[in-house]
Structure formats: C-alpha cells, structure tokens
Structure 1
Amino acid sequence: MKLTALTRYLDDLLNVAAIRDYCPNGLQVEGRAEVRSIVTGVTASQALIEAALSAEADAILVHHGYFWKGEPAPIVGIKGRRIRALIKADISLLAYHLPLDVHPQLGNNAQLAQRMGWVQEGMFGEGDIGLMGRVDADASDVAGIAANLERVLGRKPLVIGDLAQPVRRVAWCTGAAQSYLASAIDAGCDVFISGEISEPTVHLAREAGVAYISAGHHATERYGVQALGEHLAEQFGLRHCFIDIDNPV
C-alpha cells in the first residue's frame, strides 16, 4: 500500500480536519513510499522505534507522536536521536492524538468501554470528548468498578471516594483528562475514570461526593491504536504488530 494512500485513509477515517489538537495529526516523519508492515504502540519512544526496526516495519503508528504545542522546536537531543533513527531506517511515523481518542468505534474511549462492558449513553465535556453510560450489574459500586479495571488493565487503580458508593452512571475519558471531572460531575455521574490525577482533583471529587478513579495514562490508552492497526490489517492486508513498551504511569 502506498504511504500517501494510507495517510489519506487514516486522516479521513479519524476526521482529522475537524478536530483541533495540541500537535499535528497524521504523517509526522516520512519514510519509504510502500507500506506492507506496521507496528503500533502508544508512544513513539526510542524503545518502540528500536522494536519496530527489529520487526522490519515500514511504518510506526502511535497515539503520542512528536511536535507538541509549546515544546522546543529544534530537533536535537532525545528528539533528534529518535527522528534520526526513523530517517536512517526509512521508517514512517504516523501519530493520531485526539482524533484517536474520540473515534466512536476505534477510539481509546470506545475501546476501553468495550473491554469494561460499559454501555455508552451520552457524551460530555468540551467537544464531547468524554463518554458516560451504564455499568455491568456485577460492578454496581465503586469497589466493583475498580476491581474490574485492575483485572482488565493489569494495573491497580488509585481510587478517591467511598468504595461502597453505588454507581448508576459512570463517566470516562482516557489519558490526562482529570480536568474533565467538573464536567462529569455536572453531567450527573457517580464515578469518573481517567488515566491521570492532579492534586486539585482529589479535593473536587471529595467535596462533590463523586468518586474518581485514576487508572493510568498508558494503561487506558493501549487499545485504540491496537484496534486501528487491526482494522488496517483487515482492510488492506497489511502485517500488523502491537508492541507494548512498559510504562507504569
């Protein structure tokens, strides 16, 4: 498959043109023109690049790429080493941040819900980035949800709030979305799940009487890029391999 066709397909599929973001979405580093093998991962770290080289990939597809708003522009140091490695190997880097979070089927939020058995009933927050809905009857309190998250994600979550609190409505947004807690509260949720937590989040959750669960930034965002890679493999016959670079955050 031509790299230009792959990039165009992904940009259209993830509706990149309609979403404002903190980084460029799409092709970030251009490699060879023909793509037969793709490695997916959460973040375009040096470790993922080296693993993709070993896997003889033509392209790397990630959720967290490069060139973030506010970061220094010079391609030096760690960023320089990463980009030089890609160019030397003629491997492309494609990255999709918010467009991958919000895709209704392949996105991080949708894929987390699928694995957790949550039934989406609505959206909330700026740009409707967060989702909310019902939980499985077997996890009808905060303790049950936390236990299921630990089982599915393989990481013990941090829980703020009453473990025995009944849950009728759950809200979630993967990654660093702790700032959406206030919107989740306004939307009437009983518990909000995200990846990260900040100091003010604790006080807001306690004072609102809404439980907050920090389940891990990396842990909650492993599934969208996997689903996207599997979709490409099925759609175009590409070889696909997801490589999970361990990250405790």
Structure 2
Amino acid sequence: MTANDSLTVPTNTIVTAQSLATFCDEYLSASAFQDYAPNGLQVDGGRPIQRIVTGVTACEALIDAAIADNASAIMVHHGYFWKGEPAPITGMKGRRIRKLMQHGISMLGYHLPLDAHPVIGNNAKLADLLDMTVIGPLYPHEAHPVGNIAICEPQNAQSLIAQITKALGRIPLHISANYKTATNTDDERPNDRLIERVGICTGGAQDMIEQAALMGCDAFISGEISERTTHIARELGIDYFACGHHATERGGIQALGDIIAQQFGLPVTFIDIDNPA
C-alpha cells in the first residue's frame, strides 16, 4: 500500500488516538503478524492528536522529549508489554506510563510490521540507505517475511564498511568470511572477495545469518552480534556486519512519521535518543 491509496484522511478531521492507530494498523497490515508485543495503540492519552513525536524506543528520555515538544502522541518501533515481561505497571514501566498518562500522551508501537513493510520498513529503508536493490525475501516461503535479500555493486568488505559508516554514522563490527586456520596461527586474512548479494534484517536478527548463507548471500547485515555469530560466519563463509540494533532501526519509524504527516497534516518530529547498542 502506498501513501496515495484509499487510506487518505481529510486534513480537517479531528485525529484521535484510535483513528491514528486504525490508519497505521491498516497501512502496515499489523494484524497479519504473530509478534512479541501488541502492535498499535498501547497507551491512550485521552486527547486529540495534534502533534507527534517518533523514535526508535519508548524510553523515558523519549517521553521527556515529547513532553518538552508538547506532543500528544509518541510513535515507536519498540513499545511496551513484551511477551514474558512482568505484568505489573510498577518501577521503570510504571514511571514511563505514568508520565504518558499525566501529560495526555498516547503511545503507539509497531514492531515486526515496521520491519517487514516493503516500502517504509526498516529493512527496505536500510537497503535504500546503502544503495542496494531488494530482489526478494530472506524467507521466501513465509506469508509475511521480515528479512530481505538485496544486491549491490560488487565491492569488497572494506568498501561496504565505509558505506555503512557513512550511512549510519557508526563503524560496523565486521566478521570476515575469510578465516584462516593454520598449525601455528589463527587469524583473519584480508578479505578481498567481492560482495554483491546481501541478506538484510535489522535489529536483533543475527541468527538469520544461516538462512542468508543458505540463500546464497555473500554477506549478512543486521544490528547485533552474539558469540556464536562469529563462528557461524567463518564456518559458512559469509561476511557479517553488525551495524547496531538502534542504528539499523531508525529508518522505518521516520518513514512512517513522514506518511502520517502527509496523510493527517500533523507536525511530526523524529527524536533520536542515542543508543550505542
């Protein structure tokens, strides 16, 4: 679905938290995903939406920034009420939600739907940012696949590192596919192999590296890295680039904010709360 489809909302319409959520739910096909947290409206601040702040994670710092911006809604990729977390609204969770309610701020969160969207999703936007062309899904047999396969101009790892660094403002951690094991030394050789076919799945998707190798990718890009990821990359012969969970997931929520601003005629401000992870 594109910004010009039938979900256009008249600019003179009063925007409620529920009507904003309904639009986003439909645009992102949120109900199609089995997710780790509820997608959509998570906290209803109880007042019309006139100004929106977007961000990656609904941390207290983002809430404070939204309060300072006089926002009536926050939209994020990482919201609340994750599976397995304690249910009581106490401690850190209590402080966050209390601030939202005290200032009448609604909060909407979209996780997997915002990763997977073919146009404004995190994976699609990261591919755009890196001048790569998406050619298909990482999991072709899934009804709503999250990861993508993209192609780029053939380049070595150092060239791709420079491109990622420029695009995201941080140097990725690179695990080379060219791992040498000898009788007297174990080290990484300079990687001169060319990278052209790349698997992409932002955030904490490092374990999808095996699927990327299975799909014939030369490299895999995600946000985080685990101890096992290093060995998998070396043994399967696929370069791995850990580019930061936060850094790789800024694009989707910014793009969704742009769509909302266009459709509803509301001011939308992206606020980036620094996170090195």
TM-score range, shorter chain: over 0.9
Alignment partner of 1:236 is 2:264: yes
**Which residue does the alignment assign to 1:200?**
228
Tell me what 2:169 maps to.
154
Which structure has the larger Rg over C-alpha atoms?
2
Q: Distance in 1 between matches of 2:86 and 2:17?
A: 28
Equivalent positions of 1:148-227 (< 5 A) are 148-161=163-176, 162=178, 163-227=191-255
Distance in 2, Cα, partners of 1:146 & 1:248: 17
1-structure distance, mates of 2:115, 2:200: 11
Q: Secondary structure at the match of 1:111?
A: helix
Deviation (angstroms), 1:84:
0.4
Distance 2:249 2:222 in 1: 10
TM-aligned CA deviation for residue 124 of structure 1: 1.3
How is 1:19-58 mapped onto 2 (pairs within 5 angstroms)?
A: 19-58=33-72
Unaligned 5+ residue runs, structure 1? Answer: none
Confirm whether residue 133 of structure 1 aligns to residue 176 of structure 2. no
Quick check: 2:47–2:104 contact (8 Å CA) kept in 1?
no
Unaligned runs of 5+ residues in structure 2 are 1-14, 179-190
Q: Deviations over 1:172-226 (max 9, x none)?
A: 1000000101110100000000000001110010011110110000000011000
For residue 121 of structure 2, what is the aligned residue in structure 1? 107
Residues 55-134 of structure 1: matches in 2 within 5 Å?
55-125=69-139, 127-134=144-151
Structure showing the higher helix proportion among its residues: 1
User: What SS does structure 1 have at the residue aligned with 2:166?
Assistant: helix
Query: Within 2, Cα distance between the matches of 1:100 and 1:201?
Result: 25
Moved more, 67-76 or 30-39: 30-39
Number of positions where the alignment pairs a residue of Structure 1 with one of Structure 2? 247
What root-mean-square deviation, in Å, do the aligned CA atoms of Structure 1 and Structure 2 show? 1.0
Cα deviation, residue 32, structure 1: 2.8
Aligned partners of 1:245 and 1:134: how far apart in 2?
Answer: 31
TM-score calculated relative to the size of structure 2:
0.87
CA distance in 2, matches of 1:107, 1:186: 23
Deviations 1:71-118 (A, max 9, x none): 111111111100000010010000000000000111100111111110
Q: What is the deviation of 1:146?
A: 1.2
Amino acid across the alignment from 1:10: C
Aligned residue in 2 for 1:5? 19
